[in-house]
Amino acid sequence: MTIEILFPEHANLFGDMSNMRYLQACLPDAEFVRTPLTDTPYFVNHDVDLLYMGPMTERIQQQVILALMPFADRLRELIDGGTPMLFTGNAMEVLGNTITLEGGNTIHGLGILPLNAKQDLFHRFNSLILGRFAPVQADIVGFKSQFTSATGDNADCAFLKTERGIGLNRQTHYEGFFKGNMIATYLIGPILVLNPALTRWLLDTMGATDAPLAFEDAVNDAYARRLAEFCDPQVDVEY
């Protein structure tokens, strides 16, 4: 089983690399390929069982787009072929059409997702998210912390329909994208650690149906407590 982590020296903000550490605990025999920004991604010439990229700084995001642009068609092919992928935080924007920068300039993303993002570096948006992931009918809990909001047509292919917290922007409850087996989401942090049902789905989709969830009891206990908090209307969504 091969898991490629794209550009981990840069795309590692907000504790997101914990998702890979958790998968490593679930799949101790899996091979993790860590591709630096200066190298050709492994997925270009090989099949992978999971492709992952975490959040990065706004400056690095532009370099990542340039680095991946020659391989956009290959990414599309893998998505259409059902390769599991996870893009978290502003890694999702890399796959989109455009990013409008703070100064007003617009840069182009890979054009894989119908997403247009806009930076606002003077206002950071922090929020809890509670939403439903349709394939397993599970409530997903997570956090957003970002400078951007986005518009995009994701009503038919959203990762989550939120019950608390916003979607791509304040006007929608549709959060992120779910296409083939690719998840792209603004959620940051240890989303696989926080959401045992999502991790179970991912492992099953990767073909690791026999792999147990690491620390399953503890993870389920923490999830149940968080879900109860997130469902409590007294708990503020924006933090």
Partner 1 sequence: MKRSWRFFPALWTAKLTTAVLRLFHRNATHLPGLVALKLCPTFLGDIGKPKTIIAVTGTNGKTTVCNLLDDILPDCGVQPLNNRTGSNVNGGILTTFLNAATLTGRVKEEMAVIEVDERSALFVFKYMQPDYLIVTNLFRDSFKRNAHSEFISDILNQAIPKKTKLIVNADDLIGSRLAPNNDRITFGIAHREGDWEVRQNIVCDMVACPYCNTVLEYDFVRYNHIGRAHCPKCDFASPSVHYEIIAVDEEAAKLTVRTPRGEEQYRMIGDNITDWYNTLAAVTMLRVLGFDEQTIEQSLQKQQIVKSRFERIDIGDKAITMLLAKGQNPIACSRAFDYIRRTEGKKAVILLIEDYYDAKHTSENVAWLYDADFEFLNDPSVEQIVIAGVRAADFRVRLLLAGVDDSRIVCMREEVATADAVDFERVDNAFVLFDVYTTMFADATRERLENRLNGQNEEVSQ
User: What is the DSSP track for 98-151?
Assistant: EEE-TTS-EEE--SSSSEEEEE-TT--EEEEEEEEEGGGTEEEEEEEEESEEEE
Show the DSSP H helices in the chain as ranges.
18-26, 58-68, 72-80, 91-94, 191-194, 196-206, 216-231
Cβ at position 178, least distance to partner 1 in Å: 22
**Stretch near partner 1 under the rule CB under 8 A, chosen from 112-120, 131-139, 140-148, 200-208:** 140-148
In the bound state with partner 1, the residue whose beta carbon lies nearer, of 15 and 111, is 15
Quick one: how far is CA 191 from the chain centroid? 8
CA distance 4 to 42: 7
| String marking each residue 98-137 x if it binds partner 1 according to CB under 8 A | -----------------------x--x-x-x---------
User: Of the candidates 64, 89, 62, 92, which has an alpha carbon nearest to the alpha carbon of residue 79?
Assistant: 92
**66 touching partner 1, by CB under 8 A:** no
Sole window of 75-83, 172-180, 188-196, 198-206 interacting with partner 1 (rule: CB under 8 A)? 188-196
Among the listed residues 31, 47, 153, 221, the single contact to partner 1 using CB under 8 A: 221
Segment contacting partner 1 by CB under 8 A, of 69-77, 107-115, 170-178, 225-233: 225-233
- Exactly one of 1, 3, 4, 16 binds partner 1 (CB under 8 A); which one? 16
Rg (CA), the chain: 17
Whether the Cβ atoms of residue 120 and residue 90 lie closer than 8 Å to each other: no
Q: Which two tokens stand for residue 51?
A: 């492709």
Shortest Å distance, C-beta 89 to partner 1: 10
Do residues 174 and 130 make contact, with C-beta atoms less than 8 angstroms apart? Answer: no
Residue 239 engages partner 1 in binding (rule: CB under 8 A) = yes
Q: Which of residues 20-59 bind partner 1 (CB under 8 A)?
A: 21-22, 25, 36-38, 57-59
> Which positions touch partner 1 (CB under 8 A)?
9-10, 12-18, 21-22, 25, 36-38, 57-60, 63, 121, 124, 126, 128, 143, 145, 147, 188-190, 193-194, 214-215, 218-219, 221-222, 225-226, 229-230, 235-239
